[in-house]
Chains A and B, each alone.
Chain A
Amino acid sequence: MQVAAALGFNNEYAGTYFLYVTYWTCLLQAAYLLLAFVAVAKFPAHKPLYRTCWCLRNIVAPASCMVAGLYWSLIFPSNMTTDF
C-alpha cells in the first residue's frame, strides 16, 4: 500500500508522497520490518543484515514516536482550526 501510494496511485498524495516525514518513516519502518523478518527467517547469522536492521530500528523507533507526537500535538490541531 505504501509502495502504491508512493508511485502515485493514491490521488490525494500523487506526486507529493515523499514530501512528508510521516511517509519517510513509514517506508523505513516497512523496510525494517521486512529485513527483520528475512533476517530471522532466512539469515539468522548474517551480520551485515543484522547491522542494517539494528540501524533502521534505531532510526525508526524514535522517528515513528516523534511523528505521532508531533502530528497529534501540532498538525492535527492546526488542521482542525483550518477546517472550522
Chain B
Amino acid sequence: MHGSNAVIMLLDLAVARYPLYLKHFWQPLLYVFLYVLFNGLYVAAGGTDSYGNHHIYEVLNYKPLGNSLILLALVLFVFLPLIFAGQLGWVRLFVRLSPGTLPDHPARPPTSHPHLRQLLAPAAARRQHAHLVACLIGIIYDPVVAGEEGAELANGGLGHRGGGRRGIGWRSEAVIEGREREGEKGAKGGWQAIHQHNGSGWCKKRTWACMQVELRGRHRKRRHTRGDVFDTWKERQGRALG
C-alpha cells in the first residue's frame, strides 16, 4: 500500500492524457491541509489511534508543537511541491515521447525559426533540398542553354519569378539570345513561360529555396511586368544595333 499506489499513479500519469498544470497545485495542497486540520482537531479533542496512543502518527504527536509545525511546513511547502514538480516533469516526458496526443500539448516543432524548422523536418527538408538543387541547376544552366527549353529549365529550377540568376524582371541571357535568333516569332521562355503558367509575374508558392535565392539578392522584390521584359530586350537590341 505504501508504494504500490504511487507506482499505479505514476503509470496512470504516463498513459492517461489528463492535462497537469502547475496552477492546479492548490488541489493536493488543499487535500493535505484538510487532513492536517483533521489530524490536529482529532488529537486536540483527545482522540486516540488504534493502539490507544493520543496521536495518530508518532512523528506528528504535537508534544513539542514547534517540531510538528516545522515538519508540517516542510511537508506542505517543500516535499509536496517537489513531488508535484517531479510529476509535471514525468508527464512532460511522456508527452514528448508521444506528441500530438493531447490538445493542450500539441506536437511541438523542433524550433520556431521557419528556416531551421524546415531544415530539421525530414520530409520537408528533402523536398526543399531537391528544390534547391533544381534552383542551382537552373542558375548554372541559365546562361548556357538557349530558347524555350533553357528558360523553362531556369524558371522551373527557381520555381517562379522569372529565370535563373538574372532574377525577377530580367530576361535571361539565354532567352534573349533565343528571341534574337528567332526574330519576330519570339521565343516563349523566361518571363513568358511563367506568365502563361501562373497568369502573373508572381509565383503563388513561396518556398524556402526561393526565399533563400531572394535573400541572396538573386531576385528583385518587385513584380516584373511585360514592359520590363520588353524594355530590357529593346535596350539590349538597341545596344546591339547601336
Q: Give the chain A neighbours of B59 by CB distance below 8 A.
A: 74-75, 78
Cβ contact within 8 Å between A66 and B42: no
Q: How many inter-chain residue pairs (CB < 8 Å) link A and B?
A: 101
Residues of B47-75 whose CB lies within 8 A of A:
47, 49-50, 56-59, 75
Q: Determine how close the nearest CB of chain A comes to the CB of B6; give it in whole angstroms.
A: 4
Complex: chain A residue closest to B47, CB-CB: A19
Cβ contact within 8 Å between A62 and B1: no
Complex: A7 Cα to B28 Cα, angstroms: 26
Cβ contact within 8 Å between B83 and A24: no
Complex: A75 Cα to B47 Cα, angstroms: 19
Cβ contact within 8 Å between B5 and A54: no
Partner of B75, one of A58, A65, A66, A78: A66
> A interface, how many residues as a size bin?
35 or more
Complex: chain A residue closest to B28, CB-CB: A62
- A30-68 Cβ-contact flags toward B at 8 Å (1 or 0): 000100100000000000000001110111111111111
Q: Please classify the interface of chain A as helix (H, G, I), strand (E, B), loop, or mixed, using the class held by over half of its residues.
A: helix
Complex: A67 Cα to B239 Cα, angstroms: 91
List the one stretch of B13-21, B93-101, B148-156, B171-179 in contact with chain A: B13-21
Partner of A58, one of B1, B3, B27, B83: B27
Partner of A61, one of B9, B49, B50, B79: B9
If A19-B56, A55-B27, A72-B3 touch, whether A65 touches B16 (CB-CB below 8 Å) is no
Cβ contact within 8 Å between B18 and A57: yes
Q: Which residues of B contact A (CB under 8 A)?
A: 1-3, 5-6, 8-10, 12-13, 16, 18-20, 24, 27-28, 31-32, 35, 39, 42, 47, 49-50, 56-59, 75, 79-80, 83-84, 86-87
- Could you list 11 further interchain pairs (A-B, Cβ under 8 angstroms) beyond the known A33-B12, A76-B2? A29-B9, A33-B8, A36-B16, A54-B19, A55-B27, A61-B13, A66-B32, A66-B79, A67-B2, A68-B6, A70-B79
